[in-house]
Each structure stands twice: as structure tokens, then as C-alpha cells.
DNA sequence: CTATGGCACGGATT
DNA sequence: AATCCGTGCCATAG
């Protein structure tokens, strides 16, 4: 149900209300990229629609206001910092933050396709892959579990595709060396071995590491150094260093904690999402900047009913009249629904920008736990409307990271980052219940059990598998 | 006895 | 109506 008291006379539509509602819902669910496609399709098939010329802002090429400048360049600098500047911008490719505006964007600068883990990996290895092995690779990658490990036995893959096992292994070898190193391995053990191998190419690794992982991974994870030392023939002191090295550098679950956090890491962070639906930038560089929130909505303000078409309707050939009339109605409906969609979305994002200002400026730790229901109540919308509006949309933050809009509704992110900080700073491993105490001091009240779950989510090992962070570096 | 993981329940989310 | 998430209770390992 759309019910919005502040809404313009959109309510005074037509007897089309059911169709209107239905389409608004559908549109609301789409993100910018999908909407773009949809509108392009409509433009192509419906002669009643046309694109109206718009003037561009001379400074940034966004469509301009009456004054000639766009809302951003036109904004005065002495507004209240609590009031974000919000405006709607029609096309993603008019403007790319951080990238100087160019007349022609080079080919490889165009929007990336939305990538999930399998696609991301596939793109990396495709060049090295013989064409007939591509399907094989794609098949393997589509059978990864959420940890980035292969769920299906290799033999089965080979049988399914009627190729020798050796070929499957060769392809898998390539996959394992692609970016989340170790991805696609059949077991944590193999993942770690692959990582070790890659690591060895750039830096020295302890000679016994490989053996330790091969024969004693379970001992390693249980901290049973003496036992392990006996097994691989090394003093327990050396084994301890070994364990330290392993837990610092290797990750048994290559796919985990990979999508969430895009840190400086080693390489460049992979672009995971397409163009964002919202771009947030500071108006000026300062500690307490005014936020500029740009809502990307394809063709916003550029779409209208072709006036010529409307005129021509009267003189329509009788056999075509019905068709034309329905085209016109559809076009009108689309335009109204789009207005409705942007309006709802703008109200939503405005509220979010105000409520989550601290988060936008200062990062994960300051994210307010916010529920859709609560926002729905404030905006007098139905919660399902919020859900639809939030679904599958992304926001680009000040630091250039693109995150799903749903992240603004994450109930536990702030606690999880606090937890990560605690663990990063700990000198010796803290137990979960000790962490509960520390979190409580910070004002986060969570159950002991929950801390364990958060750890798992972040890919942090249990305390007895973690190492003292004070001593460091082997020779 | 302490630290964790597993299972299941209730409320929130979609 | 189906699913996800935080939590409590219990079993297990050290």
C-alpha cells in the first residue's frame, strides 16, 4: 500500500489506481540499472514516450535547474549541516565521482556488470583459460558454498562433464590462484595450501608450514602444539611460531569476510556492484561537511509524453486508435509511477541521510541500529514499501565504497566492528564472555552466544586458536 | 569449572 | 507465509 500524505496530487490519478499501485511497487523494487533497462525498452516500444531535451550544468554536466547550474553547484555553502542536500539525477553516466568528467568515457571505464563471487573469479582466469575449459570453470564456480569452498567432489565434476580428472584439476589449479586465493578448494586444508603456495612466491614462508597443514590441521586448530611438534619433528616453540604465522596469513574460508569488508588489503578492492543508486559526497572538505545526496534515477525529469503524439491521437486511423490510446495511457502511467517512485525513495533516503549521518561520515562503528518498521512509521509508509525500496539498491559513500542500502538497516554492524576492534587490539586472546563484558562497557549489550556468532561472521577464530598479538616476526 | 558450538524458539524482516 | 537473526539451554572438550 502506498499512502503518503505529503504526496502531490498523484493520488488524484485516474481510475487506474490498481494498475498504478502495482507498477509503482514493481518500479520501487528495481535499482537504477534495472530501471534503466526497463525505460529503454519502453522508449523503444512506446511511441507516446519521448526524451525531452535538458540543459546541462556547465560545471559538472548534470542536468541543470532554471538557473543554469545543477542543484549541487548551485547550493549555498552556509546551510545547516544537519540538512543534507538531496536531489535526483537522471543518468548514472553523466557523472562519476572521483573521476574527472570527460567528454567520452573510455570503454573500460564504463560501468562494470554486477559481479558475484563466481563471476568475479571467472573474469580473472578467463584469459588464461582454453575456451573449451570455460564451461568447466563456470560449473565449478557455480558450486561454491558461502565459504568459497567447492561443495562437489572433483570426481563428480569430471564425470558430469566427461573429461579426465587431470583436466578438472588443472582448471581448479587456476581458480585457486585467483583473487580470493584458495577459492574453489574442496577443503579448508587445500585452500590454505594454495594460499601458502602463492604466498611463497613473494615472501619467505616457514619450511614446515606445508607439512603442518597437511598432516596436522586439526591439531593446529586445537592448539595442541606438543602433539603437532612430535608429528612433524619440531620443537614446540617453533611450532608456536608456525601457528602464529598460519593464523595471521592464511584463511581456511576464502569466500568468507570477503564481500563485506573492502579494506586496503593487498590489492585493489574488486568492484562488486554496478553503479550505485545513491551517491553521497561532501559539499566541502571539512570535518563536519554538508552532505550532498544524489539519487540516481534513470531519465529523471527527461521523460515526457510526446505532445505530437497526443495531438495525433485525434486523427488516428480507426484501426490503430485503440492501440494508440493504450500506448498513451501506458506512457502516462509510467511517468506518474516514476514520479511516485522517486518521491518515495527521496523521502526515504533523506531520512536515512539524517539518521545515519555519523555512519556516513565516520564509518561502520557509528551505524545506528535502524529497523525498516521504525522508518516506515516515521514516513507513514508501509514496511513492505520500505523493504521494496531498499531491496537491491546500493549507495556510494564518501570513501568511494559502494555498499548495499540494506547495510543501513544492519542491526549488528556497529557491534561487530566494535568487536573487531577489541580483538585487533587485544594482547592475548580474550574469551567470548570477556568480550561481552568489554562490549557492555561500550554500551553494547549482547549475549555471549551472539559474540560467538559475530566472530564466525567476521571469520575470526575462537580464542584458543588466536595468537598473542604482542610478539611478532620470525626471522 | 570455563569456553564454545549445536539446536531450537520467538520476534523481526521480507 | 517463509526466512533470518539474536538468544537461551545443553552437551562436549579442555
C-alpha cell at A267: 590489492
Question: Which positions on chain C have an atom < 7 Å from some protein CB?
Answer: 5-9, 13-14
Cβ A372 to strand B below 7 Å: yes
Query: Residue A314 carries which DSSP code?
Result: G
Q: How far apart are CA A104 and CA A288, in angstroms?
A: 34
Give me the pLDDT at residue A269, please: 30
Kind and range of the H or E run holding A304? strand A303-305
pLDDT at A184: 83
Question: pLDDT value at position A96?
Answer: 39
What is the pLDDT, as a whole number, of residue A264?
Answer: 24
pLDDT at A447: 93
Amino acid A384 CA to nucleotide B14 C1' distance, rounded Å: 7
Predicted local confidence at residue A79, as pLDDT: 74
Amino acid A173 CA to nucleotide C2 C1' distance, rounded Å: 39
Q: What is the pTM of this model?
A: 0.61
Query: Which string of DSSP letters, residue by residue, matches A282-301?
Result: ESSSSSSPPEEEEEE-TTTT
Name A88's bridge partners: A295
Give which of A175, A173, A85 is closest to A122, Cα–Cα: A175
CA distance A175 to A126: 10
Q: Is A303 within 8 Å of A49 (Cβ atoms)?
A: yes
Q: Is residue A433's beta carbon less than 7 angstroms from any atom in nucleic acid strand B?
A: yes
Strand nucleotide closest to residue A449 (CA to C1'): C7
Long-range contacts of A121-126 (CB under 8 A, 24+ apart): A121/A175, A121/A178, A121/A179, A121/A180, A121/A183, A121/A184, A124/A178, A124/A179, A125/A174, A125/A175, A125/A178
**pLDDT (tens place) for every residue of chain A, 475 residues total:** 333 344 344 443 344 567 777 888 888 888 887 888 888 899 889 999 988 877 777 776 677 777 778 788 887 776 787 888 888 887 555 443 333 322 222 223 333 334 566 777 777 777 777 777 777 888 888 777 766 778 778 888 888 888 888 888 888 888 888 777 788 888 878 888 888 888 887 777 777 788 888 877 767 766 667 777 777 777 767 777 777 777 767 777 776 544 333 322 222 233 333 467 888 888 887 888 889 898 888 888 788 899 988 888 888 788 888 888 899 999 999 998 898 889 989 999 999 898 889 888 888 888 888 888 888 888 888 888 888 888 878 887 876 666 788 888 888 888 888 998 888 888 888 999 999 999 998 888 899 999 999 888 887 888 888 866 555 444 3
| pLDDT for the residue A435 | 92
**pLDDT the model gives residue A451:** 93
User: B6 C1' – A75 CA distance, angstroms?
Assistant: 56
Which cell numbers in the block locate residue A54?
A: 535538458
Whose CA is closest to A418, among A372, A371, A363, A370? A363
Give the bases of strand B that a protein CB approaches within 7 Å.
Answer: 2-7, 12-14
Q: Any idea what the Cα angle at residue A73 is, between residues A78 and A90, rounded to 5°?
A: 130
CA-to-C1' span, A449 to C10 (A)? 13
Amino acid at each position: 500500500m502506498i499512502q503518503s500524505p505529503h504526496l502531490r496530487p498523484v493520488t488524484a490519478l485516474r481510475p487506474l489506481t490498481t494498475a498504478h499501485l502495482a507498477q509503482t511497487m514493481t518500479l520501487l523494487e528495481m535499482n537504477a540499472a534495472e530501471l534503466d533497462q526497463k525505460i529503454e525498452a519502453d522508449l523503444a516500444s512506446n511511441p507516446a514516450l519521448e526524451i525531452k531535451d535538458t540543459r546541462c550544468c556547465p560545471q559538472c554536466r548534470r542536468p541543470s535547474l532554471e538557473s543554469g547550474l545543477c542543484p549541487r553547484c548551485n547550493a549555498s555553502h552556509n546551510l545547516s549541516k544537519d540538512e543534507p542536500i538531496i536531489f535526483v539525477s537522471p543518468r548514472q553516466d553523466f557523472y562519476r565521482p572521483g573521476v574527472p568528467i570527460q567528454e567520452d568515457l573510455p570503454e573500460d571505464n564504463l560501468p562494470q556488470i554486477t559481479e558475484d563471487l563466481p563471476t568475479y573469479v571467472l573474469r580473472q582466469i578467463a584469459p588464461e583459460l582454453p575456451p573449451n575449459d570455460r564451461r568447466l570453470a563456470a560449473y565449478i564456480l557455480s558450486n561454491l558454498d558461502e565459504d568459497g569452498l567447492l561443495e562437489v567432489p572433483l570426481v563428480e565434476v569430471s564425470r558430469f562433464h566427461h573429461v579426465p580428472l587431470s583436466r578438472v584439476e588443472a582448471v581448479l589449479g587456476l581458480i585457486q590462484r585467483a583473487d580470493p586465493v584458495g577459492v574453489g578448494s574442496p577443503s579448508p586444508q587445500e585452500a590454505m595450501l594454495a594460499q601458502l603456495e602463492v604466498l611463497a612466491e613473494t615472501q619467505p614462508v616457514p619450511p614446515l608450514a606445508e607439512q603442518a597443514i597437511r598432516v596436522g590441521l586439526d591439531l593446529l586448530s586445537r592448539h595442541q602444539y606438543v602433539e603437532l611438534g612430535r608429528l612433524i619433528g619440531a620443537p614446540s616453540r617453533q611450532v608456536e611460531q608456525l601457528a602464529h604465522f598460519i593464523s595471521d596469513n592464511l584463511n581456511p574460508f576464502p569466500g568468507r569476510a570477503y564481500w563485506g569488508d573492502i579494506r586496503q588489503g593487498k590489492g585493489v578492492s574488486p568492484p562488486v556492484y554496478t553503479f550505485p543508486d545513491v551517491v553521497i559526497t561532501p559539499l566541502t572538505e571539512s570535518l563536519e561537511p554538508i552532505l550532498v545526496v544524489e539519487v540516481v534515477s534513470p531519465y529523471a525529469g527527461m521523460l515526457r509524453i510526446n505532445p505530437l503524439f497526443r495531438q495525433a491521437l485525434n486523427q488516428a486511423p480507426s484501426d490503430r486508435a485503440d492501440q494508440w490510446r493504450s500506448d498513451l495511457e501506458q506512457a502516462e502511467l509510467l511517468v506518474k509511477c516514476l514520479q511516485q517512485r522517486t518521491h518515495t525513495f527521496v523521502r526515504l533516503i533523506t531520512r536515512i541521510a539524517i539518521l545515519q549521518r555519523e555512519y556516513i561520515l565516520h564509518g561502520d562503528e557509528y551505524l545506528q541500529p535502524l529497523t525498516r518498521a521504525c522508518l516506515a512509521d516515521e514516513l507513514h509508509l508501509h514496511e513492505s514499501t520500505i523493504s521494496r525500496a531498499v531491496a537491491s539498491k546500493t549507495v556510494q559513500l564518501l570513501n568511494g565504497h559502494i555498499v548495499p542500502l540494506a547495510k543501513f538497516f544492519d542491526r549488528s554492524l556497529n557491534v561487530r566492528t566494535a568487536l573487531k576492534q577489541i580483538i585487533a587490539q587485544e594482547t592475548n586472546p580474550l574469551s567470548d564472555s570477556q568480550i561481552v563484558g568489554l562490549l557492555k562497557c561500550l554500551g553494547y549489550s549482547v549475549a555471549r552466544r551472539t559474540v560467538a556468532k559475530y566472530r564466525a561472521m567476521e571469520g575470526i577464530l575462537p580464542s584458543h586458536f588466536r595468537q598473542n598479538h604482542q610478539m611478532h616476526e620470525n626471522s
